[in-house]
Structure 1
Amino acid sequence: MFNKKVFSEYIYKKNKILSLSIFLALNVLFLTGCVNKNTYRPSIERPFVLTTFTILADLARNVAGDRLLIESITKPGAEIHSYQFTPSDIVKTKGAKLIIENGLGLEAWFSKFMSSTGDIPKVKLTEGIKPLLIDGDAYSGRPNPHAWMSPKRAMNYVDKIVDAFIEIDPDGALEYSSNASTYKAKLESLDKELRDSLSSIPKERRFLVTCEGAFTYLARDYGMKEAYLWPVNAESQVTPRRMVNLIKKIKENEVPTIFCESTVSADAQMEVAKSSGAVFGGTFYVDSLSDLNGPAPTYIDLLRHNVRLITKGLSISKVKK
């Protein structure tokens, strides 16, 4: 005998199960879409180029214009020397036409990274540049990799980028060359601006003290001396001996102000400042740009920010005895 009540309950339960199934299916699709959005690159018309860090990405964008899409593997604020790449970084390389690295041993992780990416062309921007060597400490005699801290050497980077872009996109040769010429003119102007600013510091105070020895190229260009806690961030161990030696140099040279970089802790340098009588003058950007709202969203902004801090800090009264 047909039971209307039982049938109604059956239909109700079936519809409820169906509705729940549809709801779950839609959620799976939504979540999958979110993962794909963050993990897989959508189809794009412009060729896609990766760089190892944000500063190289900015240089590359100034050459690429609208013809190429440029992205950095590392994010603003990342420590780039011993960066630990992730599976999502490997996925970023999907469809890349080129990967740009600095070289000179800066990206210690890069060879292993490339072995996981397949056959993607790469270009090393310091190839052909005569490096300055690290003086003293455990890295003595090795090339200092921070060549981009000199606007003049950054122009060499730009030339390398142009050649690499023409290799993957010959039709854009004129545009890349034109963009590079415009950008290099800005770097020429920046070089003069920085020279004028730093030359205003009394000669006896042109002694730059930082956490990392990343300013060798800038110091050489503009007639400054330098000292630091460690040679490169990949070997940023703070030892009592290093601190004592740096404090001694600061006192001997009457350095009024010392600094540190954005991608490392400034705690040790704060202690050095306290013990030496110097002032802690602020944070430099060297291995990474800031975010868009920070003081160094571009390479040119980065150098201007650093030189403003240097000029202000080294122009004050001498260190207290």
Structure 2
Amino acid sequence: MTEAATRRHLLATTLGLAALGAVATPSAAQAPKRIVATFTVLADMAQNVAGEAALVESLTRPGAEIHDYEPTPLDVVRARSADLVLWNGMGLERWFERFFSRAGSTRQAVLTEGITPIGIGQGPYENQPNPHAWMSPTLALVYVENIRKALAGIDPANAATYAANAERYAAQIRAVDARLRESLARLPADRRVLATCEGAFSYLTRDYDLREAYLWPINAEDEGTPRQVRAMIDAVRRTRVPAVFCESTVNDRPMRQVAREAGARYGGALFVDSLTAEDGPAPTYLKLLEVNADIILRGFFGNQAPR
């Protein structure tokens, strides 16, 4: 995000919370803390917890692929000037440890602390943690609490503000979780398979009693190989899955081939590693969850998808 976009996001967040009567007012007249997150999903979560007391920006832009992001010299400057850097961990930001060694003594927080990871099932990263824990609304509550603690740690004067904002935001996540649970429970019992390009949905499928199938386990060098495509075609035929999906930050061509050859519907692109711009369908984490559920349900039910 640019500085201007960050300030627009903060203003929009503040106005939206004010409309709900739920803004916790920061204490004292002081310059807002400056927080940097490694990607847009974390930045949005953090801004909701920070409210007016901090400005949050993302190192990566909306729509960016984060696994193999290449930090720029400007990123180093932004991190060094921040009061706090937030990152996911679990091997997601493979570039981050190299990057952070150049970012000086800025404080940092790993937002997956306390989460028991699901292991990657195959490929070059087999048995390493699947990093996409934020895709589970239940585990998103852990992220929110870790953000609250990290912000209070650098800014104890506004600890009450962060606690109130975190409580409000957690309630919104729980409400989305309840709607998703009710909607996804309507998927046919014998076809409860979420077939995607990347294996980024392990935590979400566990939450909602779905099985997972994917072309590749994690975005890396080998994506959409003939062997991966053939294995997925066989899996889709075997399970009679009505629809398959990809992710918004990767090439969907291999999965479209799977859909054609397996006789399934291509259901569309799901949002995982990045939010969209403000005028896109998933500009916030909450919208990301809701939009993904709508895409999945339309893929399975077509025009008869439950609302």
TM-score band, normalised by shorter chain:
0.7 to 0.9
Of 269, 277, 281, the residue aligned with 1:295 is: 281
2:220 alignment partner, SS class:
helix
2:107 alignment counterpart? 121
Please state how far the C-alpha of 1:139 moved relative to its aligned partner: 2.4
2:228 alignment partner, SS class:
helix
List per-residue Cα deviations over 1:75-122 (Å, max 9, x = no partner): 001110110111121222242000000000000000111111111111
In the aligned structure 2, how far is the partner of 1:88 from the partner of 1:223? 43
Q: Which has the larger radius of gyration?
A: 1
1:241 alignment partner, SS class:
helix
1:156 alignment counterpart? 142
Cα gap change, 1:259 to 1:230, in 2 (>3 Å): same
Asked whether the equivalents of residues 87 and 110 of structure 2 are also in contact (C-alpha less than 8 Å), the reply is yes
TM-score scaled to structure 2, two decimals?
0.87
2:83 alignment partner, SS class:
strand
Asked whether the equivalents of residues 256 and 316 of structure 1 are also in contact (C-alpha less than 8 Å), the reply is no
Matched, 1:282 2:268: yes
2:212 alignment counterpart? 226
2:226 alignment counterpart? 240
Of 47, 65, 76, the residue aligned with 1:90 is: 76
Asked whether the equivalents of residues 81 and 107 of structure 1 are also in contact (C-alpha less than 8 Å), the reply is yes
Please state how far the C-alpha of 1:235 moved relative to its aligned partner: 4.2
2:194 alignment partner, SS class:
strand
Of 263, 266, 288, the residue aligned with 2:252 is: 266
1:71 alignment counterpart? 57
For structure 1, which runs of at least 5 residues remain unmatched after alignment? Answer: 1-36, 39-43
| Count of residue correspondences | 277
The answer to which of 275-284 and 235-244 deviates more is 235-244
2:174 alignment counterpart? 188
Identity of aligned residues (%): 47
List per-residue Cα deviations over 1:264-305 (Å, max 9, x = no partner): 111111111111111111111100001111110000000110
- How much is the aligned-residue C-alpha RMSD, in angstroms? 1.7
Runs of 4 or more above 4 Å deviation: none
1:33 alignment counterpart? none
In the aligned structure 2, how far is the partner of 1:235 from the partner of 1:186? 37
TM-score scaled to structure 1, two decimals?
0.83
Asked whether the equivalents of residues 151 and 191 of structure 1 are also in contact (C-alpha less than 8 Å), the reply is yes
In the aligned structure 2, how far is the partner of 1:301 from the partner of 1:205? 25
Asked whether the equivalents of residues 80 and 104 of structure 2 are also in contact (C-alpha less than 8 Å), the reply is no
For residues 50-69 of structure 1, the aligned pairs below 5 Å read 50-69=36-55
Counterpart amino acid of 2:60?
Answer: T
